[in-house]
Amino acid sequence: MSLLSILYASRPWSFTASLIPLLHLSLLYPSPTNSKLLTYLTWLPVLLSQACSNYVNTYTDYHIGVDSLTSSGGDRGIRDGHVTEGGAIRMAVATGALSFSAHWLCVRGDFATWIDCVYLAGVIVSVGYTASPLRLKYIGLGDLSVFLVFNPLLVSYYLYGSLVLPPPTEPLDVGHLLLPTDPDQRSLLVSAVVNLLPLTLLTVAILHGNNLRDIEGDRKAGVTTVAGIMGETASRAYYAALVIGCYLGLWFLEFRGNDDAAAWGQGGRGGGLWEGVTVTPGRMAWLTLPLAWGNLRRVWRGEYDNLDEDTAKMHTAVGGVVAGGIWIMGW
Protein backbone atom coordinates (compact mmCIF):
# COMPACT_ATOMS: atom_id res chain seq x y z
CA MET A 1 0.00 0.00 0.00
CA SER A 2 1.34 3.42 -0.94
CA LEU A 3 0.98 6.44 1.31
CA LEU A 4 -1.39 8.01 -1.22
CA SER A 5 -3.60 4.89 -1.22
CA ILE A 6 -3.71 4.85 2.58
CA LEU A 7 -4.68 8.53 2.60
CA TYR A 8 -7.37 7.93 -0.03
CA ALA A 9 -8.84 5.09 2.02
CA SER A 10 -9.19 7.42 5.02
CA ARG A 11 -11.71 9.45 2.97
CA PRO A 12 -10.02 12.86 3.51
CA TRP A 13 -12.94 14.68 1.86
CA SER A 14 -15.02 13.76 4.94
CA PHE A 15 -12.71 15.54 7.40
CA THR A 16 -14.63 18.76 6.77
CA ALA A 17 -17.21 17.35 9.21
CA SER A 18 -14.80 17.90 12.12
CA LEU A 19 -12.32 20.48 10.75
CA ILE A 20 -14.87 23.18 9.94
CA PRO A 21 -16.74 23.00 13.30
CA LEU A 22 -13.39 23.06 15.14
CA LEU A 23 -12.39 26.12 13.12
CA HIS A 24 -15.63 27.88 14.03
CA LEU A 25 -15.26 27.00 17.71
CA SER A 26 -11.66 28.22 17.69
CA LEU A 27 -12.70 31.57 16.22
CA LEU A 28 -15.76 32.06 18.43
CA TYR A 29 -14.30 30.67 21.65
CA PRO A 30 -10.49 31.06 21.66
CA SER A 31 -8.56 29.58 24.56
CA PRO A 32 -8.35 32.05 27.49
CA THR A 33 -4.68 31.09 27.86
CA ASN A 34 -3.99 33.01 24.62
CA SER A 35 -2.23 29.89 23.41
CA LYS A 36 -3.11 29.02 19.82
CA LEU A 37 -1.19 25.78 20.31
CA LEU A 38 -3.57 24.69 23.08
CA THR A 39 -6.52 25.50 20.83
CA TYR A 40 -5.18 23.47 17.92
CA LEU A 41 -4.04 20.54 20.07
CA THR A 42 -7.71 19.71 20.66
CA TRP A 43 -8.06 19.20 16.90
CA LEU A 44 -5.54 16.35 16.67
CA PRO A 45 -7.35 13.62 18.67
CA VAL A 46 -10.62 14.47 16.91
CA LEU A 47 -9.19 14.20 13.40
CA LEU A 48 -7.31 10.98 14.17
CA SER A 49 -10.43 9.51 15.76
CA GLN A 50 -12.44 10.33 12.63
CA ALA A 51 -9.77 8.67 10.48
CA CYS A 52 -10.01 5.57 12.69
CA SER A 53 -13.79 5.52 12.32
CA ASN A 54 -13.50 5.90 8.55
CA TYR A 55 -11.19 2.90 8.29
CA VAL A 56 -13.54 0.85 10.48
CA ASN A 57 -16.47 1.93 8.29
CA THR A 58 -14.53 1.02 5.14
CA TYR A 59 -13.77 -2.48 6.44
CA THR A 60 -17.23 -3.18 7.89
CA ASP A 61 -19.23 -1.99 4.87
CA TYR A 62 -17.07 -4.06 2.53
CA HIS A 63 -17.06 -7.09 4.81
CA ILE A 64 -20.85 -7.33 5.03
CA GLY A 65 -21.31 -6.63 1.33
CA VAL A 66 -22.62 -3.05 1.29
CA ASP A 67 -19.83 -1.59 -0.83
CA SER A 68 -19.59 -4.59 -3.13
CA LEU A 69 -23.24 -4.01 -4.00
CA THR A 70 -22.91 -0.25 -4.37
CA SER A 71 -22.85 0.71 -8.03
CA SER A 72 -21.04 4.04 -7.86
CA GLY A 73 -19.45 6.68 -5.70
CA GLY A 74 -18.97 6.55 -1.99
CA ASP A 75 -16.37 4.49 -0.17
CA ARG A 76 -14.33 2.56 -2.73
CA GLY A 77 -11.15 2.10 -0.68
CA ILE A 78 -11.07 -1.70 -0.52
CA ARG A 79 -13.10 -2.35 -3.66
CA ASP A 80 -10.74 -0.33 -5.85
CA GLY A 81 -7.65 -1.86 -4.27
CA HIS A 82 -6.39 1.21 -2.40
CA VAL A 83 -6.27 -0.78 0.83
CA THR A 84 -6.83 -4.42 1.76
CA GLU A 85 -9.25 -5.58 4.45
CA GLY A 86 -6.31 -6.32 6.72
CA GLY A 87 -4.77 -2.98 5.85
CA ALA A 88 -7.96 -1.14 6.81
CA ILE A 89 -7.97 -2.90 10.19
CA ARG A 90 -4.30 -2.10 10.80
CA MET A 91 -4.82 1.57 9.88
CA ALA A 92 -7.87 1.75 12.16
CA VAL A 93 -5.79 0.43 15.06
CA ALA A 94 -2.89 2.77 14.25
CA THR A 95 -4.99 5.94 13.94
CA GLY A 96 -7.01 4.97 17.00
CA ALA A 97 -3.83 4.53 19.05
CA LEU A 98 -2.46 7.85 17.79
CA SER A 99 -5.75 9.57 18.65
CA PHE A 100 -5.73 8.21 22.19
CA SER A 101 -2.06 9.16 22.61
CA ALA A 102 -2.73 12.70 21.40
CA HIS A 103 -5.67 12.97 23.78
CA TRP A 104 -3.69 11.59 26.72
CA LEU A 105 -0.54 13.63 26.16
CA CYS A 106 -1.88 16.90 24.79
CA VAL A 107 -5.43 17.52 25.98
CA ARG A 108 -6.24 15.87 29.32
CA GLY A 109 -4.57 18.49 31.55
CA ASP A 110 -6.45 19.15 34.79
CA PHE A 111 -9.64 17.48 33.60
CA ALA A 112 -8.52 13.85 33.82
CA THR A 113 -11.60 11.62 33.97
CA TRP A 114 -13.97 14.44 33.00
CA ILE A 115 -12.66 15.00 29.52
CA ASP A 116 -11.88 11.28 29.23
CA CYS A 117 -15.64 10.66 29.43
CA VAL A 118 -16.33 13.03 26.52
CA TYR A 119 -13.48 11.59 24.45
CA LEU A 120 -14.47 7.97 25.03
CA ALA A 121 -18.14 8.71 24.34
CA GLY A 122 -17.19 10.24 21.00
CA VAL A 123 -14.94 7.30 20.09
CA ILE A 124 -17.53 4.69 21.09
CA VAL A 125 -20.31 6.33 19.07
CA SER A 126 -18.15 7.07 16.00
CA VAL A 127 -16.52 3.63 15.86
CA GLY A 128 -19.79 1.96 16.85
CA TYR A 129 -21.39 3.67 13.86
CA THR A 130 -20.62 0.49 11.90
CA ALA A 131 -18.59 -1.74 14.24
CA SER A 132 -20.05 -4.48 16.42
CA PRO A 133 -21.76 -4.65 18.79
CA LEU A 134 -23.49 -1.27 18.30
CA ARG A 135 -23.63 -0.99 14.48
CA LEU A 136 -25.69 2.17 14.83
CA LYS A 137 -25.83 2.86 11.10
CA TYR A 138 -27.38 -0.52 10.41
CA ILE A 139 -30.27 -0.07 12.83
CA GLY A 140 -31.39 3.38 11.70
CA LEU A 141 -29.40 5.36 14.29
CA GLY A 142 -26.68 6.66 11.98
CA ASP A 143 -28.07 10.18 11.66
CA LEU A 144 -28.50 10.53 15.42
CA SER A 145 -25.00 9.25 16.14
CA VAL A 146 -23.44 11.66 13.63
CA PHE A 147 -25.38 14.55 15.17
CA LEU A 148 -24.20 13.64 18.69
CA VAL A 149 -20.55 13.21 17.70
CA PHE A 150 -20.24 16.37 15.61
CA ASN A 151 -22.22 18.71 17.85
CA PRO A 152 -22.61 18.26 21.63
CA LEU A 153 -19.68 15.85 22.10
CA LEU A 154 -17.36 17.81 19.80
CA VAL A 155 -18.37 21.11 21.42
CA SER A 156 -17.82 19.76 24.94
CA TYR A 157 -14.45 18.26 24.03
CA TYR A 158 -13.21 21.50 22.49
CA LEU A 159 -14.47 23.81 25.24
CA TYR A 160 -13.04 21.71 28.05
CA GLY A 161 -9.85 20.75 26.20
CA SER A 162 -8.95 24.34 25.31
CA LEU A 163 -9.83 25.50 28.84
CA VAL A 164 -12.65 27.78 27.62
CA LEU A 165 -14.65 26.03 30.34
CA PRO A 166 -12.75 25.54 33.63
CA PRO A 167 -12.26 22.11 35.20
CA PRO A 168 -15.44 21.06 37.05
CA THR A 169 -15.33 21.17 40.84
CA GLU A 170 -18.30 18.87 41.48
CA PRO A 171 -17.90 15.06 41.66
CA LEU A 172 -17.84 13.20 38.36
CA ASP A 173 -21.30 13.30 36.83
CA VAL A 174 -21.82 12.84 33.10
CA GLY A 175 -24.97 14.97 33.25
CA HIS A 176 -23.02 17.87 34.72
CA LEU A 177 -20.32 17.38 32.12
CA LEU A 178 -22.71 17.84 29.20
CA LEU A 179 -24.76 20.49 30.97
CA PRO A 180 -22.77 22.24 33.75
CA THR A 181 -24.57 23.37 36.88
CA ASP A 182 -22.89 26.79 36.83
CA PRO A 183 -25.28 29.15 34.94
CA ASP A 184 -22.52 30.98 33.03
CA GLN A 185 -20.81 27.76 31.96
CA ARG A 186 -24.14 26.21 30.99
CA SER A 187 -25.06 29.27 28.94
CA LEU A 188 -21.71 29.17 27.14
CA LEU A 189 -22.01 25.48 26.32
CA VAL A 190 -25.60 25.78 25.09
CA SER A 191 -24.68 28.85 23.01
CA ALA A 192 -21.80 26.96 21.37
CA VAL A 193 -24.07 24.01 20.56
CA VAL A 194 -26.67 26.33 19.01
CA ASN A 195 -24.06 28.22 16.98
CA LEU A 196 -22.87 24.93 15.50
CA LEU A 197 -26.35 23.58 14.66
CA PRO A 198 -26.57 24.87 11.05
CA LEU A 199 -23.28 23.19 10.12
CA THR A 200 -24.30 20.03 11.95
CA LEU A 201 -27.35 19.78 9.70
CA LEU A 202 -25.04 19.78 6.68
CA THR A 203 -22.87 17.14 8.36
CA VAL A 204 -25.92 14.90 8.70
CA ALA A 205 -26.73 15.71 5.06
CA ILE A 206 -23.33 14.27 4.03
CA LEU A 207 -24.27 10.98 5.66
CA HIS A 208 -27.79 11.05 4.28
CA GLY A 209 -26.49 11.73 0.77
CA ASN A 210 -24.44 8.55 1.06
CA ASN A 211 -27.38 6.52 2.37
CA LEU A 212 -29.80 7.95 -0.20
CA ARG A 213 -27.52 6.82 -3.00
CA ASP A 214 -27.10 3.37 -1.41
CA ILE A 215 -30.74 2.61 -0.56
CA GLU A 216 -30.98 -0.44 -2.80
CA GLY A 217 -27.54 -1.79 -1.93
CA ASP A 218 -28.22 -1.39 1.79
CA ARG A 219 -31.53 -3.22 1.50
CA LYS A 220 -29.90 -6.15 -0.29
CA ALA A 221 -27.24 -6.31 2.42
CA GLY A 222 -29.89 -6.25 5.16
CA VAL A 223 -28.86 -2.80 6.39
CA THR A 224 -31.53 -0.47 7.81
CA THR A 225 -30.68 3.22 7.41
CA VAL A 226 -32.88 6.28 7.89
CA ALA A 227 -33.01 6.63 4.09
CA GLY A 228 -34.12 3.01 3.77
CA ILE A 229 -36.83 3.48 6.37
CA MET A 230 -38.14 6.69 4.80
CA GLY A 231 -37.99 5.58 1.18
CA GLU A 232 -36.58 7.51 -1.77
CA THR A 233 -39.20 10.27 -2.05
CA ALA A 234 -39.26 11.13 1.66
CA SER A 235 -35.47 10.90 1.76
CA ARG A 236 -35.22 13.53 -0.94
CA ALA A 237 -37.41 15.84 1.14
CA TYR A 238 -35.33 15.06 4.23
CA TYR A 239 -32.10 15.95 2.40
CA ALA A 240 -33.66 19.21 1.20
CA ALA A 241 -34.81 19.98 4.74
CA LEU A 242 -31.29 19.49 6.09
CA VAL A 243 -29.74 21.79 3.47
CA ILE A 244 -32.43 24.48 3.71
CA GLY A 245 -32.38 24.15 7.50
CA CYS A 246 -28.68 25.04 7.51
CA TYR A 247 -29.30 28.34 5.72
CA LEU A 248 -32.37 29.13 7.82
CA GLY A 249 -30.33 28.39 10.92
CA LEU A 250 -27.61 30.82 9.84
CA TRP A 251 -30.29 33.42 9.13
CA PHE A 252 -31.79 32.82 12.59
CA LEU A 253 -28.40 33.24 14.29
CA GLU A 254 -27.77 36.47 12.39
CA PHE A 255 -31.01 38.10 13.54
CA ARG A 256 -31.02 36.48 16.97
CA GLY A 257 -27.63 37.83 17.97
CA ASN A 258 -25.37 36.45 20.69
CA ASP A 259 -23.30 37.51 23.64
CA ASP A 260 -20.33 35.60 22.29
CA ALA A 261 -17.00 37.13 21.36
CA ALA A 262 -18.22 37.47 17.79
CA ALA A 263 -21.90 38.39 17.95
CA TRP A 264 -23.50 37.06 14.78
CA GLY A 265 -26.23 39.67 14.55
CA GLN A 266 -24.03 42.74 15.10
CA GLY A 267 -21.75 42.24 12.14
CA GLY A 268 -18.38 43.85 11.73
CA ARG A 269 -16.58 46.29 9.46
CA GLY A 270 -13.31 45.27 7.94
CA GLY A 271 -10.44 47.28 6.60
CA GLY A 272 -8.93 47.37 3.12
CA LEU A 273 -11.32 45.89 0.58
CA TRP A 274 -13.91 45.53 3.34
CA GLU A 275 -13.79 49.17 4.42
CA GLY A 276 -17.32 50.40 5.20
CA VAL A 277 -18.88 47.00 4.47
CA THR A 278 -20.95 45.37 7.20
CA VAL A 279 -20.21 41.65 7.19
CA THR A 280 -21.96 38.86 9.07
CA PRO A 281 -21.44 35.10 8.81
CA GLY A 282 -25.03 34.65 7.65
CA ARG A 283 -24.57 37.05 4.76
CA MET A 284 -21.30 35.41 3.78
CA ALA A 285 -23.15 32.09 3.52
CA TRP A 286 -25.31 33.52 0.74
CA LEU A 287 -22.27 33.18 -1.52
CA THR A 288 -22.68 29.41 -1.43
CA LEU A 289 -26.35 29.29 -2.42
CA PRO A 290 -25.53 28.22 -6.01
CA LEU A 291 -23.83 25.10 -4.63
CA ALA A 292 -26.84 24.29 -2.48
CA TRP A 293 -29.23 24.85 -5.39
CA GLY A 294 -27.18 22.59 -7.62
CA ASN A 295 -27.22 19.73 -5.10
CA LEU A 296 -30.95 20.11 -4.45
CA ARG A 297 -31.73 20.01 -8.18
CA ARG A 298 -29.67 16.84 -8.56
CA VAL A 299 -31.47 15.16 -5.67
CA TRP A 300 -34.92 15.93 -7.07
CA ARG A 301 -33.80 14.56 -10.43
CA GLY A 302 -32.70 11.34 -8.74
CA GLU A 303 -29.00 11.88 -9.53
CA TYR A 304 -27.25 10.57 -6.42
CA ASP A 305 -23.76 9.66 -7.70
CA ASN A 306 -21.09 11.18 -5.43
CA LEU A 307 -23.80 13.09 -3.55
CA ASP A 308 -22.00 12.56 -0.23
CA GLU A 309 -18.74 14.00 -1.57
CA ASP A 310 -20.52 16.94 -3.23
CA THR A 311 -22.39 17.66 0.00
CA ALA A 312 -19.06 17.58 1.83
CA LYS A 313 -17.74 20.18 -0.64
CA MET A 314 -20.79 22.32 0.10
CA HIS A 315 -20.15 21.85 3.84
CA THR A 316 -16.57 23.07 3.34
CA ALA A 317 -17.69 26.06 1.28
CA VAL A 318 -20.41 27.13 3.71
CA GLY A 319 -18.17 26.59 6.72
CA GLY A 320 -15.27 28.38 5.07
CA VAL A 321 -17.15 31.55 4.15
CA VAL A 322 -18.92 31.64 7.52
CA ALA A 323 -15.54 31.30 9.25
CA GLY A 324 -14.34 34.17 7.06
CA GLY A 325 -17.30 36.25 8.24
CA ILE A 326 -16.54 35.46 11.88
CA TRP A 327 -12.89 36.40 11.36
CA ILE A 328 -13.75 39.70 9.64
CA MET A 329 -16.16 40.58 12.43
CA GLY A 330 -13.42 40.10 15.00
CA TRP A 331 -10.83 41.98 12.93
- What tens-digit pLDDT sequence spans the chain (331 residues)? 677 777 878 888 899 999 999 999 998 888 887 566 767 788 999 999 999 999 998 888 887 776 654 445 456 677 767 788 888 899 999 999 999 999 988 776 655 677 888 899 999 999 999 888 889 988 999 999 999 999 999 999 998 888 787 766 655 555 555 666 677 778 888 889 999 999 999 999 999 999 998 888 888 878 889 999 999 999 999 999 999 999 999 988 877 654 443 444 444 444 333 344 455 777 888 899 999 999 999 999 999 988 999 999 999 999 999 998 888 776 5
Residue 74, C-beta contacts closer than 8 angstroms, at least 6 positions apart: 67, 210, 213, 214, 306, 308
Give which of 168, 163, 149 is closest to 26, Cα–Cα: 163
CB 188 within 8 A of CB 165: yes
Q: How far apart are the first and last CA of the chain?
A: 45
CB 146 within 8 A of CB 21: no
Task: Note if the bond before 32 is cis, omega within 30 degrees.
Answer: no
* pLDDT given for residue 306 in this prediction: 87
Query: Hey, how many other C-beta atoms are within 10 angstroms of the C-beta on 32?
Result: 12
* pLDDT given for residue 278 in this prediction: 54
Per-residue b/e over 123-152, b at no fewer than 16 CB within 10 Å? bebbbbbbbeebbbbbebbbbebbbbbbbb
Residue-range definition of the domain harbouring residue 42: 3-329
| Cα(91)–Cα(99) distance, integer angstroms | 12
* pLDDT given for residue 262 in this prediction: 41
C-alpha distances in Å from residue 231, one per residue of 22, 211, 245, 298, 302: 33, 11, 20, 17, 13
CB 36 within 8 A of CB 82: no
Give which of 42, 40, 41, 52 is closest to 15, Cα–Cα: 52
Give the pairing type, strands 278-279 and 268-269. Answer: antiparallel
Domain count, the chain: 1
**Which segments of the chain are extended strands (E)?**
268-269, 278-279
CATH of the domain at 279: 1.10.600
Q: What are phi and psi of 139, to 5 degrees?
A: -120, 25
